[in-house]
Amino acid sequence: MKREIYTTAVLDFGQPMAWGHIRWKGVRDPQAQLLIRTRTGHDDEPLLYWQKTSIPGEYKQVTRKEYDITLKRERRLTLDEQNWSFWSAPYAWQDGLADTTLAASAWQDGTPILSPGPARYLQLQLLFLSTQTAAAKLRELEIQFSPPAALRAVGEVWPLDVSRTHSTTFTYSVLPTFDRDTQGFDRLEIFTLTRADTVRSVRVDGVEVSDQFPPQIQQDRLLVSLPRLQGGDDTFKLVEVEFDARVVRYGTEFQGWIFDSEGTGVKQLIEPGDATVDFPGNALGVRPAGLGDELLTQVSVFPNPFTPNGDGLNDVARFQFQLHEVSAPRDLRLRVYDVSGRLVRQLDRQWAIRGLFGQGVEDPVWDGLDAGGNLVAPGIYLYRISLDTDEGTEEKLGAISVAY
């Protein structure tokens, strides 16, 4: 299968923007693929440039011009993780196809942009996978965006440890920050997964507003109307929604959005963080007590596919997973196989305690090498993650692609 990558120039939107939907028009043969993904940032350069020093294994940061005149073996690239997001997961082709039966200006089609905002800069990458007889063609691609409702909107939910057998009373707190370029908002949308039982209270800066602005309980979310918040006087006015809901899945995240009911329809995603000193959680995800059945969850690998070609971009695949209720180190085995079942690489080690793994320098990665230190051929490989438990062994399986 032929593989071609097209990466756009960094797109400058002039100011930080909130992202809505992405959609496209095109055709794709069933045997071909077109993978589209995005990343966003706060400056016009997503990469950092490095040059080897006289000290073995040590690099120093240099300018792009210095990097360009350095020998390839003496330099490397890394993503500027402080200012740029990683590439998003690929958008599903069918989800992003424009619906020509709908009014284009209504933006009722397309799929939500996964990269974080507000951000001033955006970049797209297109991966074409084709054969001699099958290909994909992109005719048009559109992005929906709008000036943000707030400079930042930080949210958290409390409590984090909840019961699976009955409803819990949650407090959902949002702390907005505004500047002169933000348009403000009068709606808060909270994804609850299941239908909430009731909304007990809606407060803005400590003042109850639910009598004047009755909230709506929908099948899988809450739609909360608010007095309009905008400008410096409303910065750091805490919005609190107290509601009862039942959590049926470990790791349920109460994602939230703020938006202007009379605006463009673009909703700004709330970022988890420290919204109030009253609660220590600083998170939007909750965990039911007494889960008991799975200790190893939320297994994923990124980037997928990855490209171990030594250019410093997507050279390794990072495995991420969640360990639950593990208070002592456990043996965890990560093994990679080819499609025939032959063991290619064994990455066993002992992982300590519960938590989210896959975001640090000591977390499990595969560099595309086999057990003999040779670079594997491009293609699809299988991985198995096994965790020793008191009751036996828990396993998770998945696929990972290597491309050049």
- Residue 301 has phi, psi (to 5 degrees) of -140, 135
Number of domains in the chain: 3
pLDDT attached to residue 199: 98
Q: Which domain holds residue 281?
A: 152-288
Domain boundary among 146, 162, 183: 146
User: Which is nearest to 60 in space by CA: 78, 85, 42, 37?
Assistant: 78
Domain boundary among 129, 146, 163: 146
pLDDT attached to residue 289: 66
Does a structural domain hold residue 101?
Answer: yes
Whether 257 and 341 map to the same domain: the answer is no
Whether 172 and 96 map to the same domain: the answer is no
Which single residue is written with the structure tokens 């109030």? 276
The single-letter DSSP state of residue 151 is S
Whether 140 and 200 map to the same domain: the answer is no
Whether 301 and 261 map to the same domain: the answer is no
Does a structural domain hold residue 26?
Answer: yes
Whether 282 and 300 map to the same domain: the answer is no
pLDDT in tens, the chain (404 residues): 688 889 999 999 999 999 999 999 999 998 888 989 999 999 999 999 999 999 887 899 999 999 999 998 899 888 898 999 888 878 889 999 999 899 888 888 999 898 888 999 999 999 898 888 999 999 999 999 999 999 999 999 999 988 766 899 999 999 999 988 789 999 999 999 889 999 999 999 999 999 999 999 999 999 999 999 999 899 999 999 999 998 866 567 898 999 999 988 899 999 999 999 999 888 898 876 655 456 677 788 888 889 887 777 888 898 887 766 554 556 678 899 987 778 999 887 654 434 444 443 346 789 898 888 888 888 889 998 887 765 567 788 888 999 87
Does a structural domain hold residue 167?
Answer: yes
Domain boundary among 96, 125, 146: 146
Whether 14 and 134 map to the same domain: the answer is yes
Q: How far apart are CA 40 and CA 43, in angstroms?
A: 9
| Cβ neighbours of residue 72 closer than 8 Å, sequence gap 6 or more | none
Whether 249 and 190 map to the same domain: the answer is yes
Whether 268 and 314 map to the same domain: the answer is no
Residue 323 sits in a domain whose CATH number is: 2.60.40.4070
Does a structural domain hold residue 98?
Answer: yes
Q: How far apart are CA 67 and CA 172, in angstroms?
A: 47
pLDDT attached to residue 295: 66
Whether 305 and 241 map to the same domain: the answer is no
Q: How far apart are CA 146 and CA 265, in angstroms?
A: 9
Does a structural domain hold residue 71?
Answer: no
pLDDT attached to residue 390: 58
Whether 166 and 267 map to the same domain: the answer is yes
Whether 194 and 129 map to the same domain: the answer is no
Does a structural domain hold residue 54?
Answer: no
